[in-house]
Amino acid sequence: MRDGSKGDLTGETGTPAGGGGGADAPRDTVAAVVRQWQAVRPDVDTGPMEVIGRINRCAALLQQAEDAPLRRVGLTRPEFDLLGALRRTGHELTPGELARETFSSGAAVTKRLKQLQERDLVDRRADTRDRRVSHVGLTDAGRDLVDSILPDQLAYETVVLGGLDEDGQAQLSSLLGELLGQLEGRLGPAPGFRG
């Protein structure tokens, strides 16, 4: 029997068996999981599962497809997030600032920066007053790479959202923004984050 773990909700274990349902039921893996739970535990409110499960599943599917342009240029999603943070802020950042910008641990940022520096996409310089602190900036090659990938990413996102009209997109954006604001205020940085 399934235990309601994240794997169930994100569909990582595949489409659940017996996930039929009526004509009005949403046709997604989370709806099938919810129906299964309702069958074995009708006393439990599965409403939150319907929201969180769909957010998790959407995020997993979006990330899988969205990484294709990055793989073509030999970047991982976390590496692109670092480059993107440097590009959008428009100035050098310390590794600690990059960790905060990308919700990553300091150790993970250090490892990724080393790989990006080996590819001549970023450069690091020591602080003139404190040699323990470094400042990271994009090289010309790094800036050009981000600028060349960004339109592909945005074009993909436009296609993905094409099934929703403008009002639907605005409503979804507003609701997700409200939820994110609440979660960021309540839960703080991602697990494993070290300021």
59-109 per-position pLDDT tens digit: 888 877 767 788 889 998 899 999 999 999 999 999 999 999 998 999 999
Torsion of CA 183, 89, 59, 182, to 10 degrees: 10
Least confident of 5-19, 25-39, 96-110, 132-146: 5-19
pTM, full prediction: 0.69
Can you give the pLDDT at residue 61? 86
Count the Cβ atoms, other than its own, within 10 Å of residue 38.
14
Is residue 37 within 8 A of residue 44, CB to CB? The reply is yes
Whether residue 15 is predicted with pLDDT greater than 60 in this model: the reply is no
End-to-end CA distance of the chain: 40
Q: Between the CA of residue 173 and those of 84, 126, 169, 178, 180, what are the distances in Å?
A: 21, 40, 6, 9, 10
Farthest-apart Cα atoms in the chain, separation: 67
32-65 per-position pLDDT tens digit: 999 999 999 999 999 999 999 999 999 888 877 7
Quote the tokens at residue 131: 């040699």
One-letter amino acid at 170 equals A
Can you give the pLDDT at residue 12? 40
Strands 134-138, 122-126: pairing is: antiparallel
Can you give the pLDDT at residue 154? 84
Smallest Cα–Cα separation from 12: which of 81, 67, 59, 69?
59
Can you give the pLDDT at residue 157? 82
Torsion of CA 6, 9, 11, 16, to 10 degrees: 120
168-194 per-position pLDDT tens digit: 999 999 999 999 898 887 766 544 433
Phi first, then psi: give them for residue 28, nearest 5 degrees.
-145, 165
Quote the tokens at residue 95: 């590794």
Can you give the pLDDT at residue 137? 96
